[in-house]
Amino acid sequence: MLAPAVTRALVDDFLARRSSRPRSAPPAVTPRERDVLGGVCGGLSNREIARDLYIGEATVKTYVSRLLDKFAAASRVGLVIAAIESGVLHAPNRSSPAPG
């Protein structure tokens, strides 16, 4: 697991380098998957996401696994990047300090 500041730096670096290729249609994401995705984007652990959403840690793991499959991502960082590229998540505001 990466620290939120490291995740943010990786996403910022990717966004600075990405080409202007057209976006593909984003996968369908349920409201609860979007909540979990927000936690992943924030650099939270499964335990922290579970605590914040009042669900079990195993449930969070299931959601993360489904999201990785939906976005064809191999890691949590890849998931955040794919979600931003597809328009499901908005890129973090670079002018605000990293969380944590």
Q: When comparing pLDDT for 61 and 5, which is higher?
A: 61
Mean pLDDT is lowest, of 32-41, 53-62, 86-95, for: 86-95
pLDDT of residue 100: 47
**What is the Cα–Cα distance from 93 to 8, expressed in whole angstroms?**
10
Residue 45 lies in a domain: yes
Residue 78 lies in a domain: yes
| CATH code for position 81 | 1.10.10.10
**What is the Cα–Cα distance from 73 to 71, expressed in whole angstroms?**
5
- Average pLDDT, integer, range 39-51: 94
Res. 51 pLDDT band, cuts 50 70 90:
very high
CB atoms within 10 A of CB 44: 22
Residue 49 lies in a domain: yes
Counted domains in the chain: 1
CB atoms within 10 A of CB 80: 26
